[in-house]
Amino acid sequence: MSDKITVYQKPTCNKCRETLGLLKERGIEFESVNYYETPVTKVELKSLLEKLGISAHELLRKGEAVYRDLEIGKRDLSDDELIDLMIEHPDLMQRPIVVRGDKAVLARPIENVCELL
């Protein structure tokens, strides 16, 4: 696999920093996208979900204050509605997401990244 690696991350996230460190340690070139500074679009997020092979519901960070404040767990929301909420509130997205070609993994645990290397 020779496709470029892209890491969607938040700089203050420990798992994100560990993932970036692992890639640097192994000498692997990658592009880092801080999706708080460069928000993902709806099309991009749908593509990421497809590459991850999961639903929008599975990408949610259920422990976040915004998840509780918006009472997401008590509402019957479609994937499109959840995607819109994740774009509006990036804290709702699990991270980091590592993409290579047409595959992606959540680097939780960090060993998941090895599937793409």
Known catalytic residue at 13: yes
Task: Give bridge partners of residue 6 from the DSSP assignment.
Answer: 31, 99
CA–CA separation, 38 vs 9, rounded Å? 10
Nearest to 82 by CA among 108, 46, 53: 46
CA–CA separation, 64 vs 78, rounded Å? 19
- Out of 11, 13, 28, 117, pick the active-site residue: 13
SS3 7: strand
Catalytic residues: 13
